[in-house]
Chain A
Amino acid sequence: MNAKDQQVVERTEPEARRWMVTGRVQGVGFRPFVFRLAQRFHLTGRVQNLSGQVLIEAAGEKPMLDAFGAALLAEAPPLAQPEMICVERISYRKLDRFEIVLSSAVEAAEIHIPPDYFLCDDCKREMQTPGDRRYRYPFINCTQCGPRYTLITRLPYDRLNTTMAGFELCSACRAEYENPFDRRFHAEPVACPACGPQLCLVTPSGHVERAAALAACVSALRQGEIVAVKGIGGYHMMCDANNGTAVGRLRANKQRPHKPLALMFPWRGADGMERVQRELEIDAAARVLLCTPMRPIVLLRRRMDSTLPESIAPGLREIGAMLPYSPLHHLLLDEFNNPVVATSGNISGEPVMTDNTEVEKRLGNVTRIFLHHDRPIARPADDPVMRIIAGKARLIRAGRGVAPMELDFPRLFAQPVLAVGGHMKNSVALGWGRRVVLAPHIGDLDAPRSLAVFEQVIADFQRLYGVIPQAIVCDAHAGYASSRWAAQRGLPLIRVWHHHAHASALAMEHCMERHRGGTWLIFTWDGVGLGEDGTLWGGEALHGYPGAWRRAARMRPFRLPGGERAGREPWRSGMSLCWESGIDDQPCVADATLLKKAWKKKLNAPVTTAVGRLFDGAASLLGLIDKASYEGQAGMYLESAAAGNAEAMDLPLEKDASGLLTADWKPLIQALLQGDVPVAQRAMQFHMSLARSIVAQAQYIHASTPFDRVGLTGGVFQNKLLAELAAAQLAAAGFDAHLPERLPSNDGGIAFGQLAEAECAHG
């Protein structure tokens, strides 16, 4: 039933109606759009922002009101996602115009904070038009584009409540800002060269500003220099991607020997894709993904004839590529005309840096050249990362453009709840009403800066959304910095098992998408997380549904000699897998006599079932890696190494008295050590055998305890090869198999899962 059908009585006199609209309607030009629409349909009345909801009252001819009502949703600006709450008849009042009433914070309703957007086509055209007053202006924006989340300091979303507050509008900008017919009507970050932010290039020999700064930055890049470039959510460290020496120096200075470096390509050709496809393989899905307003980093296969240096992503077949998203990036890349390395300006594991002074101080050993600008960044937002797995874009890291991520929760929260996430790749989520908002990727909470941003984002979320949590959910691992922080808040604390959170995130996400419940079998495979029996899980299959998970299967446990160190040194898992298999003569990177004694005595050698560590061990036994310099490196190497055909092995299944199924990895170890079989084939066999084991476990469990759907989640399923093999084979075996669709499968999605699990178990 829509409003139109309810109008039964024919009337000739004018009438009036009221609409309440919610959803993403703030900071996206929705009110000016309503205003223009009202003009088109000759209506009088008003539109008003009520801290989140938009109230529209209009009077005029009935057919015009009908058309207006339909167009409100159908013709909304591309970035707006309006949802109609209600429409009702109101008493007619004669007015002579339609007006936009300024923001009101009187009523705390649904507040939506948009993420940061790309540069829209209209602004890009202006920026490239000689004679336009914003010709080549790096901070051009309008209601349809530009930063939001990273510059909002308070709500309501008005210029004075953003980091643009310090820039007073010139008369030309003010005229646009105040003109309801203008694309920049109440575009809060609106600016021009006369009144807005400017560039400044700082080098050891002095500094230059504005256009000269951009030109000097480009020539520095041409000369093979590294430049720290301030963007939307923080700094990038940039250098010429084709200059192997520059890339090598960036790696050396940043102490980042292997971690893949993301590239930003110039926008070339009709679809912008011309330069990307010269180096990387892109299909239709990748094409769409690269161009979305999110402008994510997309992991794409390097072409055989690519001339990019191997050092961009050593040992890997894929490279992370993105297109320019801010006007500054467009200008810079247009001018430079070649891909640049655009890696986060941060210290490993920390959030990207946002402050001019801090970046000079803390990244001064990486470069002495800084392209600053004077628009402050309120809070960091790293670039989002995505990978196409099983035909769909999967989020690896929620960042700028993607988050804050709005999720409709299928249940009503009894009270506002804060979830503080995991320890690595931390992100937090706030749940209230029927909503959840997930913050952008924060970082690993070992560093003080990560913890500071973690606290800031939590405080900002509460303030911006006007929500005071009455309980906190954290991981069951009390040693996580997030758990420690949560325990000190003096609020009721709910501890959720790590893998229950992983499973609930997946189940609840699908429940939201398709409005269905049912019973799941979810493979939660990751690095390590604390399990119910006090050991480190990471190779389980959980049976049930949010709030009621039961460990149905696991991988065979083994020890991690050296504890946390094993996570950084895959050779330890490799040796342990051998020792557990009774193989004592496997050559080792170091003299492991002492370690083996400690392993035997169970000294600092915790028990785990984690498939992430199994991947570590396998990569090490194949000779691909001894020590990792970044998280997930061993698994990524193993995936990259796999090629050709191999025969999957059966991993023996055994059920114990309690009904727990154990899959034994032992046959894999012997196979990995077959020196006469090519590495590519052994790596492929490893993946195929694990995929087969997933199907075998599902079938075995289904026979005694049925379930409706199978899920694959946890960091291990960022492995495209394994995820696609497993998903396809599950489907072939008749299972309804699912991967996470909107949330990251790694710990970046944990906070949402914590809310889901806590609400279903206790809510």
Chain B
Amino acid sequence: MDDTHIRLAHGNGGSYMRELIETVFARHLANPLLNVQADAVALPAMEGGGVVMVTTDGFTVQPLEFPGGTIGSLAVHGTVNDLAVSGATPYYLTLNAFIEEGFDIARLERIIASLAEAAREARVVIVAGDTKVLPHGEVGGLYLATTGVGVRAQHLQLGLDRVQPGDAVLVSGPVGDHGIAVLLAREEFGLRGELLSDAASVFPLTQALASLNGLRFMRDPTRGGLATVLHEICRATGLEVRLNQTAIPVREQVAAVCEMLGYDPLFLACEGRVVAVVEASQAPEALTRLQALPQGREAAIIGSVNAGRAHVVLQTELGGERILEELEDDPLPRIC
């Protein structure tokens, strides 16, 4: 095997490994705190004296590169967004890379470069990392794992326990973009290019909402999509979530692909959207704040939380009502 591809030796702690880290990881991720030689990093005290928040996530997306992102940028956004929707300001990330023997080093570099770019944009720094190489066939090319550290203001209390009947539900932009972009890329449908993943840091959005005292809860609708977040609200609160179907932003291309293939965009993953539950009287203000940001231009008030049975109910244009059931592993048609 030539030196353009990952070898098992790249993971044995020797010179290959050092070289890989230096040429690929350190080169792109360099910052004053990252010391590839150290066993641990000392983090300076973070401003404001808030609550330190930590989260961790693994990334296994296929394909590794897709329109609008890579597994690298996703590893930043996914973790940053988990901090952001908790009301925290993200500061630091750690990175673990699991690389398959035979992986193209040029491709690895592209992915790490996009990771670095995403981190710069999200204003987080990678403060520690690790690399493992696994024998051919044991990994789908590349897996990443990131741990994020952030700080949440002391007074900011968000959570499902704060959700009240009457609250409004907002989404910060069109749903399903990521799910469809990845699906089209993965299945090589030859439709690529038109539709980009929405993968991005949602911190600007959550920051804009954080100072509203009527903000109850935020979540980024990733796996399982918008509907799954709403089910979480139902389950935790015992309240009904009622959606106005026509208000839910869905891009035309996403709707078209979903219609053709029989998917429901409400169940498709987003990687740069926020679902927010806001006290009803502050919903217009929340909407204004979201729409003022480039990422939130298409934000919408999509429904409400109500007293009633704990169902997610989709209200159609014609006054019809449909219960959105929880996602199944392998949904089979029920029409007999």
Seen from chain A, the residues whose Cβ lies within 8 Å of a Cβ on chain B are: 255, 347-350, 362-363, 365, 422-425, 445-449, 451-452, 477-481, 484, 498, 526-530, 536, 538, 560-568, 590, 592, 594-595, 597-598, 601, 603-604, 606, 612, 631, 715, 746-747
Contact = CB atoms under 8 A, between A and B. Distances in A.
A177 to B, nearest CB: 40
Nearest to A455: B309
Contact of A479 (B190, B191, B331): B331
B189 A597 contact: yes
Contact of A481 (B318, B319, B323): B323
A145 B333 CA distance: 43
B328 interface: yes
A116 to B, nearest CB: 27
A445 B336 CA distance: 12
Contact of A423 (B191, B260, B320, B334): B334
Interface in B230-277: 257, 259-263
Contact of B187 (A530, A595, A597): A597
A498 B335 CA distance: 12
22 contacts: A255-B318, A348-B320, A363-B319, A365-B319, A423-B334, A480-B334, A527-B335, A529-B336, A536-B332, A538-B336, A562-B262, A563-B331, A565-B259, A592-B260, A594-B257, A594-B261, A595-B260, A597-B190, A603-B187, A604-B262, A604-B263, A612-B336
A637 B308 CA distance: 41
Interface string B312-336: 0100001111110100100111111
B152 interface: no
A566 B336 contact: no
B10 interface: no
A604 B260 CA distance: 11
Contact of B191 (A451, A477, A564, A594): A594
A481 B320 contact: no
Nearest to B187: A601
B334 A448 contact: no
Nearest to B328: A479
Q: Top 7 closest A-B pairs, CB basis?
A: A562-B262, A567-B335, A565-B262, A527-B336, A564-B333, A563-B262, A423-B334
B178 interface: no
A598 B321 contact: no
A527 B336 CA distance: 4
Contact of B328 (A350, A363, A451, A478): A478
A526 B336 contact: yes
Contacts of A604: 261-263
A307 to B, nearest CB: 31
B311 interface: yes
A458 to B, nearest CB: 15
Contacts of B259: 565
B174 to A, nearest CB: 20
A348 B189 CA distance: 36
A530 B335 contact: no
Nearest to A484: B325
A563 B323 contact: no
Given A598-B261, A603-B187, A448 B321 contact: yes
Contacts of A529: 336
Nearest to B336: A527
Contacts of A606: 332-333
A424 B333 contact: no
Given A479-B325, A481-B325, A595-B261, A424 B318 contact: no
Contacts of A563: 262, 331-333
Contacts of A564: 262, 331, 333-335
Interface in B279-325: 309, 311, 313, 318-323, 325
Nearest to B264: A564
Nearest to A747: B336
A423 B336 contact: yes
Contacts of A350: 320-321
Given A422-B336, A423-B334, A446-B322, 14 more contacts: A347-B319, A350-B320, A479-B325, A481-B323, A528-B333, A530-B332, A560-B333, A562-B262, A568-B335, A590-B260, A592-B260, A594-B189, A597-B189, A603-B187
B334 A424 contact: yes
A479 B321 contact: no
Nearest to A256: B318
Contacts of A365: 318-319
Contacts of B190: 597
Interface string B183-223: 00001011100000000000000000000000000000000
A449 B321 contact: yes
B67 to A, nearest CB: 16
Nearest to B311: A448
Main secondary structure of the interface of A (DSSP, over half): loop
Contacts of A565: 259, 262
A448 B323 contact: yes
Contact of B323 (A447, A498, A612): A447
A620 B67 CA distance: 37
Given A603-B187, A604-B262, A567 B323 contact: no
Contacts of B320: 347-350, 447
Contacts of B318: 255, 347, 365
Of A350, A449, A526, A603, most B-chain CB atoms within 10 Å? A603
A568 B335 CA distance: 9
Contacts of B332: 477, 479, 528, 530, 536, 563, 606
A447 B322 contact: yes
A448 B309 contact: yes
Contacts of B309: 448, 451-452
A746 B336 CA distance: 9
B262 A446 contact: no
Of B261, B311, B325, B331, most A-chain CB atoms within 10 Å? B261
A319 B318 CA distance: 26
Contacts of A560: 333
Nearest to B242: A448
A528 B318 CA distance: 27
B325 A451 contact: no
Contacts of B323: 445-448, 451, 481
Of B187, B190, B263, B320, most A-chain CB atoms within 10 Å? B320
Contacts of B321: 347, 350, 447-449
A350 B319 CA distance: 12
A13 B97 CA distance: 105
Interface in B98-122: none
Of A349, A423, A479, most B-chain CB atoms within 10 Å? A479
A567 B149 CA distance: 48
Contacts of A452: 309
Nearest to B259: A565
Nearest to A362: B319
Nearest to A425: B336
Contact of B260 (A255, A562, A612): A562
B329 to A, nearest CB: 10
Nearest to A601: B187
A619 to B, nearest CB: 16
B49 to A, nearest CB: 46
A747 B334 CA distance: 12
Nearest to B331: A479
B334 A477 contact: yes
Nearest to B240: A448
Contacts of A562: 260-262
A250 to B, nearest CB: 14
B250 to A, nearest CB: 16
Given A478-B328, A562-B261, A595-B260, A567 B322 contact: no
Nearest to B324: A446
Nearest to B332: A606
B261 to A, nearest CB: 5
A227 to B, nearest CB: 18
Contacts of B333: 528, 536, 560, 563-564, 566-567, 606
Nearest to B333: A564
A445 B322 CA distance: 9
Nearest to B262: A562
